[in-house]
Structure 1
Amino acid sequence: MQLRVFALCILLGATRLMAQSTDAVPTGKGTLTVHPVQHASLALTIGNTTVYADPAGGADFKNLPSPDVILVTDIHGDHFDTAAIAKVIAPNTVLVVPEAVAALLPAALKAKAVVLHNGAQSMQAGIGIKAIPMYNLGASPRHPKGRGNGYVLTIGGKQVYLSGDTQGIPEMKALKNIDVAFVCMNLPYTMDVKEAAAAVLAFKPKIVYPYHYRGQNGLSDINEFKALVNAGDKNIDVRLRNWYPGK
């Protein structure tokens, strides 16, 4: 009897863990599934539609469907990698990129590119895509305003925000009705954990994933980020995932 109770407890515990670690988001057009891949790389799938963001740096998409859309945020190698794009791109894939990235694409990839400037919008594979500013504050920024894009995607009536490389800029803090957010935090390239948490508390997404959190001195403390966000708003679902396989 005791053995059965113990086994039941283990099963219930495993079930709770699975429920807590879900990466599914219900939408008006079915379940949106989030696939963390590596650093800034991720995939989103809904029905027969798949979006990749920033395939780069050896990111492994091999168990995922081919992309209908590939988003690229910036020219830096952890976001933009022509070899990685060529490896995963399909005949009907559309690339959505800022102008600075388009200028660096080889001819075969440039022919597939849709260029968006900050504030511009496009509809691709049934997904609304809006380019959002991403930049560093202060003099001589690593990421100047206007060069790269964050993105807000409208998928099945839900809004998904990809920060790209940015600080907690006014444009981020002014976002409204974001259902899922991916927010970077790595010094000296973007911002620290406290600045990221403060920005999230300003625009209050329903779900937030800290991603892109490897910096010059190793991995940022995502547990501290979660604690800061939930101290400010316990209703924000902070989802901690391993974006650095093998670390």
Structure 2
Amino acid sequence: MKATLMLTAALAALALQTQAQSATPAPRAAADQIATAQGPLTVQPITHGSVVFSWNGKTIYVDPYGGAEAYAGLAAPDVVLITDIHGDHLDPKTLAGLSLNKAMLVVPQAVADQLPAQYRAQARILRNGQRLDTLGLSVSAVPMYNLPETADSRHPKGRGNGYVLTLGGKNVYLSGDTEDVAEMRALKRIDVAFVCMNLPYTMDEQQAAQGVLAFKPGIVYPYHYRGQNGLSDVAAFQKTVQAANRKIDVRLRDWYPTAK
């Protein structure tokens, strides 16, 4: 009996140690804070196209990807936004490692169709042009797609969603996978923008810069900038934008810290 109890205790200690190791966060960039009318918005870069927002007691995950360890130490999400069906946006393995019991998943129809069965009851479907008001914030779905529009496009119009979050009087734009389409250029009163730039999937740095100069966000974060040939030149993007409009605050953050 004594030996059995000792073995049980040893196994329990090993399990706790394993759990602690799995909870060790992966390297990630430092968080930023942006003032809103209802307290600070914390912006935590994760990796590639994934970012976590904390605001007014709520936590929002965008495109959880890269393994659950990347989210260790962060509060469980109240809302999860997923932009598209590709594996760097809809990542079932990462979802399975997160605590999603209380989360609402805001997704386009194409993502809803591919969600693992256990999450479908938590999904709220938004199509381009639709808006959802929940938990004191609003989520608007905006088009994201490749140019020119073709039947074999990697990102056809209407399948995926970019999003505009409105919280505490601030508008936050998440581009998803897009080029500098007319709908992005026509955005108004965007305070914070997250804009992709990775060939051949979306657009290059110069396209992204011209799009940003058209809708003039207060702050812009280049994200989702890993392409087939490595990382895009986000410094060139910053230089182009600020040479034309110094009022736009271009914030370069390391979205790929484990790549070093």
TM-score clears 0.5: yes
Which consecutive unaligned segments of at least 5 residues does structure 2 have?
1-29
Aligned residue type for 1:163: S
Conserved 8 A contact 2:144-2:155: yes
- 1:109 and 2:110 are equivalent in the alignment: no
Gaps of 5+ in 1: 1-20
Please say if residues 193 and 222 of structure 1, whose CA atoms lie closer than 8 Å, have aligned partners that are also in contact: yes
Amino acid in structure 2 at the alignment position of 1:50 = T
Q: Secondary structure at the match of 2:35?
A: strand
Which of 167, 177, 180 in structure 2 is aligned with 1:165?
Answer: 177
Change (3 A) 1:57 1:22: closer
Deviation at 1:24?
A: 1.1
One of 76, 80, 84 as aligned partner of 2:86: 76
**Match of residue 224 from structure 2:** 212
State how many pairs are aligned.
227
Q: Which amino acid aligns with 1:168?
A: D
TM-score by structure 2 length?
Answer: 0.85
Structure 2 residue 63 is matched with structure 1 residue 54: yes
How does the TM-score come out when normalised to structure 1? Answer: 0.89
The alpha carbon displacement at 1:87 in A equals: 1.8
Cα pair 1:160 1:179 within 8 Å, conserved? yes
2:34 aligns to what? 25
Percent identity at matched positions? 57
CA distance in 1, matches of 2:133, 2:52: 18
Q: Counterparts of 1:106 and 1:88 in 2: how far apart (Å)?
A: 14
Offset, 1:22: 6.8
Alpha-carbon distance in structure 1 between the residues aligned to 2:67 and 2:115: 18
Q: Structure 1, residues 31-86: CA drift from partner, whole Å, max 9, x if none? A: 00100000011100013101000001326111211100000000000000112122
Tell me how large the CA RMSD over aligned residues is. 1.2
User: 2: CA distance between counterparts of 1:65 and 1:194?
Assistant: 36
Matched position secondary structure for 1:88: coil
Distance in 2 (alpha carbons) for counterparts of 1:56 and 1:102: 17
The SS at the match of 1:76 is coil
Report the 3-state secondary structure (helix = DSSP H, G, I; strand = E; otherwise coil) of the residue aligned with 1:195.
Answer: helix
Match of 2:137 in 1: 127
Tell me the distance in 2 between the aligned counterparts of 1:95 and 1:25. 24
Higher Cα Rg, which structure: 2
Equivalence for 1:86:
96
